Amino acid sequence: MTTDFLVIGSGIAGLTFALKVAQDFPDKKITVLTKTTADETNTKYAQGGIAAVWDDEVDHFDKHIEDTLIAGDGLCNPKIVEIVVKEGPERVREIIEWGARFDKDPDGEYALGKEGGHSEFRILHYKDVTGKEMERALVEAVRKKPNIEVLSHWFVVDLITQHHLGYLVMKSTPDVECYGVYALNLHTMQMEKIIAAKTLLATGGNGQIYRTTTNPIIATGDGVAMVYRAKGRIENMEFIQFHPTALYEPNVKGYSFLITEAVRGDGGILRNNKGEAFMDKYDERKDLAPRDIVARAIDSEMKINGTEHVWLDCTHMDKEKFIHHFPNIYEKCKSIGIDVMKQMIPVAPAAHYSCGGIKTDEMGRTTIRNLYAAGECSSTGLHGANRLASNSLLEAMVFAHRCYLDVVEHAADLKVNDRIPDWNAEGTTAPREMILITQSLKELQLLMTDYVGIVRTNTRLERASRRLDLLHEETEQLYQETEVSPQLCQLRNMITVSYLVVKGAQFRKESRGLHFNTDYPYKLELVQNIVL
Ligand code: FAD
Ligand code: SIN
């Protein structure tokens, strides 16, 4: 298969890019690949909303910039922060034009929410299902474009580079180039090569490397692992954001239901098992301190009191307003027997967002030629050591737009390489024991949770590293011998991504933002990105 523009991922980053390119190049073909259904993405699960300076009578770009820089704890790239904050409102207006709805006040103005780390009300939202609404609007807009083809249930296995033409490609090789991808068509279980002039990776996050995460099962870090194998640069992977308040349901597998930070923005209070509101012990901003502080405070309360969760108290909040703003949360809690107006909600931190990822420049270009990255899989310099709430949907749209601007500028060199060999499956046989994959996955999630969680130590990281080596060795052997399956590829990718998280954490000999190591409980003066 040959296409002009290949997009891997159908979340906010992938679809925004696809729409813009389709509009500018009506005679070019845009192919979007997604490993399950078109809308099954992290985007669909976003609750709180999208941050943008909207009401410039009370808010200002400088304030949003400052909040982002403070959360990022010295590691944001100020130029990128300025770009995202200043270009953000225009991108939000665009998605409104494409059909996304956001809540309005009775006077017809957009209702702006507030979340941890924000000094102003600037979060546009659609009830507590903002992402679902944005994804709906994007999928519908894409379906109307005849030159966009969305291929669901196609699993991308690897990027094609000079390596597949028989050349030795190393980290030091200049001008590694991307010619497209090898992907498994899950309808036929055939491996196909898809050749493209330009490829965008918009593969989302990696929360599934942890046992408890808010991320759906698609979030396995595939894009980051592919770029690392293709010898591209990956940065700041140690900064995994744990959301403070995922619903605590010990017997639920897969992913945890999120209780949006906006609930605390509207007055929800965290309490420990003795009923004490504890956040004032940890930060003067109390329940609305940035996420790393709140998550660590909850972790500390759980450890002090020997509990597996704390409580989120909404019983004092206005019922009508709560149901209006958070209908999804209200219904979810009701479905498990919790009346949030009478009972507190059990919550615990869960892996939520990867601040690091595929290193890009200010136009979304990766270190591999003809390969772009946008959205959660990328590391643009916006988030630094900790992402400010609701800045992620914004970054995805701003960078999808910048990638689009770059392809427009280089539209004259849209060439494809037609000498790509077929996938070589020689020497592999059908998988005989899926249990080997599922068991290794459980081990991986457990070791990342136990040794590479909210609070880290050198000993725990060493243990994680040793266990990962063994999992890596066993899984690589399985990969060499077995026919490719999504389960095996995802396990392989998650091991690679976990390795990058652990290595980043070991190289960072300080505590900064989301990375907290009790052996180095201070910040170094020299502020550095860790690039692998
Ligand atoms: P995604 O939306 O995750 O899309 C990834 C796509 O890549 C999917 O289509 C997937 O199928 C595809 N893919 C991945 N690997 C492969 C492969 N190997 N082959 C083929 N396809 C592949 N951010 C905010 O700013 N505000 C919020 O309120 C907010 N709330 C959140 C709530 C939850 C519960 C979660 C999980 C996240 C939230 N976030 C929020 C973060 C935000 O939703 C994500 O960072 C953002 O949506 C990521 O968008 P994306 O386009 O990068 O990737
Ligand atoms: C939330 O709604 O609390 C999540 C917001 C985010 O991850 O940015």
What is the domain-level CATH number for residue 362?
3.50.50.60
Mutate to test the pocket of ligand 1, among 41, 67, 155, 210 (most ligand atoms within 8 A of CB): 41
Question: Which CATH number fits the domain that encloses residue 454?
Answer: 1.20.58.100
Together in a domain, 208 and 345:
no
Question: Which CATH number fits the domain that encloses residue 293?
Answer: 3.90.700.10
Q: Nearest 10 degrees: CA dihedral of 55, 61, 66, 67?
A: 30
Together in a domain, 320 and 383:
no
Of 229, 230, 194, the C-alpha closest to 418 is 194
* Cβ atoms < 10 Å from Cβ of 364: 29
Of 315, 331, 352, which closes a domain? 352
Together in a domain, 289 and 378:
no
Assess if residue 379 is contained within a domain.
Answer: yes
Please give the distance, rounded to the nearest whole angstrom, from the Cα atom of residue 373 to the centre of ligand 1. 13
HSE, CB side, 13 Å, CA atoms: give it for residue 456.
32
CB-ligand 1 contact for 203 (6 Å cutoff): yes
Together in a domain, 341 and 446:
no
Assess if residue 344 is contained within a domain.
Answer: yes
Assess if residue 62 is contained within a domain.
Answer: yes
Q: What amino acid occupies position 249?
A: E
Together in a domain, 152 and 175:
yes
Per 3-state DSSP, the chain is made up of helix, strand and coil in percentages (nearest 5) of 40, 20, 40
Q: Whose C-alpha lies nearest to ligand 1, atom 24?
A: 390
Together in a domain, 348 and 367:
no
CA separation for the pair 509, 517 (Å, rounded): 8
Together in a domain, 91 and 198:
yes
Assess if residue 336 is contained within a domain.
Answer: yes
CA separation for the pair 251, 228 (Å, rounded): 35
Q: What is the pLDDT of residue 103?
A: 95
**Residues forming beta bridges with residue 372, ordered by sequence position:** 200, 365
Please give the distance, rounded to the nearest whole angstrom, from the Cα atom of residue 115 to the centre of ligand 2. 8
Strand-by-strand arrangement of the 123-124 sheet: 50-51, 123-124, 112-113
Q: Which residues line ligand 2 (CB under 6 A)?
A: 47-48, 260-262, 353, 389-390, 392
Together in a domain, 359 and 344:
no
Q: What is the pLDDT of residue 418?
A: 86
Together in a domain, 18 and 102:
yes
What pLDDT tens digit does each residue of the chain (532 aa) get?
999 999 999 999 999 999 999 999 999 999 999 999 999 999 999 998 999 999 888 899 999 999 999 999 999 999 999 999 999 999 999 999 999 999 999 999 999 988 888 999 999 999 999 999 999 999 999 999 999 999 999 999 999 999 998 998 999 898 999 999 999 999 999 999 999 999 999 999 999 999 999 999 999 999 999 999 999 999 999 999 999 999 999 888 889 999 999 899 899 999 999 999 999 999 999 999 888 899 999 999 999 999 999 999 999 999 999 999 999 999 999 999 999 999 999 999 999 999 999 999 999 999 999 999 999 999 999 999 999 999 999 999 999 999 999 999 998 878 999 899 999 877 777 777 788 899 999 999 999 999 999 999 999 999 999 999 999 999 999 998 888 999 999 999 999 999 999 999 999 999 999 999 999 999 999 899 999 9
Assess if residue 422 is contained within a domain.
Answer: no
Which range marks the domain in which residue 462 is found? Answer: 435-517
Task: Say which residues have a Cβ less than 8 Å from residue 51's Cβ, sequence separation at least 6.
Answer: 64, 88, 115, 118, 122, 123, 124, 388, 389, 390, 391, 394
Mutate to test the pocket of ligand 2, among 258, 263, 292 (most ligand atoms within 8 A of CB): 258
Residues, the chain? 532
Of 207, 242, 157, the C-alpha closest to 498 is 207
Query: Based on the structure, what is the number of domains in the chain?
Result: 3
Mutate to test the pocket of ligand 1, among 12, 42, 489 (most ligand atoms within 8 A of CB): 42
Together in a domain, 80 and 181:
yes
Assess if residue 206 is contained within a domain.
Answer: yes
Assess if residue 522 is contained within a domain.
Answer: no
Assess if residue 529 is contained within a domain.
Answer: no
Please give the distance, rounded to the nearest whole angstrom, from the Cα atom of residue 493 to the centre of ligand 2. 25
Together in a domain, 142 and 282:
no
Query: Residue 267: exposed, middle, or buried by beta-carbon count in 10 A (0-12, 13-18, 19+)?
Result: middle
Of 123, 119, 124, 125, the C-alpha closest to 62 is 119
Q: What is the pLDDT of residue 306?
A: 93
Contact (Cβ atoms closer than 8 angstroms) between residue 148 and residue 140: no
Residue 126 sits at φ, ψ, to 5 deg, of -120, 100
Q: 122, 211, 264, 291: which is the annotated catalytic residue?
A: 291
Q: How far is CA 93 from the centre of its chain?
A: 23
Together in a domain, 112 and 199:
yes
Return the ligand number nearest the Cα of 49. 1
Of 305, 333, 352, which closes a domain? 352
Return the ligand number nearest the Cα of 397. 1
Q: What is the pLDDT of residue 424?
A: 83
Told to judge if 291 belongs to the known catalytic residues of this protein, a careful annotator would answer yes
Residue 340 sits at φ, ψ, to 5 deg, of -65, -15
The pTM score is 0.95
Return the ligand number nearest the Cα of 245. 2
